[in-house]
Amino acid sequence: MGRLKGGANTDAEAEKLTLSQLELLISGAEWRFDHGSNSNDRKLAFKRLTWLEAQRERLHGIAAPSRRLAGRQRSEA
């Protein structure tokens, strides 16, 4: 399997990907989120990650985990 260049950016493009291709894109987005050099890079990676996980859930029935960006969580006061 070759490297995916950018992967999918629309629902229609995501539908053409196999589960293993989606998993590869998700793992890349997770890595970029964990290793982002600044907050903007991390935010973009987070948005990509949650979108890809939503596509995987929609297309393959694998539940997307509940995620929140740090600093955006509600306090239980």
Residue whose pair of structure tokens reads 């600044």 in the numeric block: 38
User: What pLDDT, in 10s, does the model give residues 14-72?
Assistant: 999 999 999 999 999 999 999 989 999 999 999 999 999 999 999 999 999 998 887 65
Domain containing residue 37: 21-60
Q: According to the model, what pLDDT value does residue 68 have?
A: 87
Global confidence as pTM: 0.82
Flag whether 11 is in a domain.
no
Query: What pLDDT does 5 receive?
Result: 63
Q: Which amino acid is at 58?
A: R
Counting the structural domains of the chain, the total is 1
Residue 1 has pLDDT above 50, yes or no: no
58 backbone dihedrals φ, ψ, rounded to 5° = -65, -40
Asked if the structure places residue 74 within a domain, the reply is no
Dist. CA 13–CA 7, nearest whole Å? 8
Q: Which residues contact 45 (CB under 8 A, 6 or more apart)?
A: 29, 30, 32, 33, 36
Query: Is residue 39 in some structural domain?
Result: yes
Is 26 within a domain?
A: yes
Tell whether 31 is covered by a domain. Answer: yes
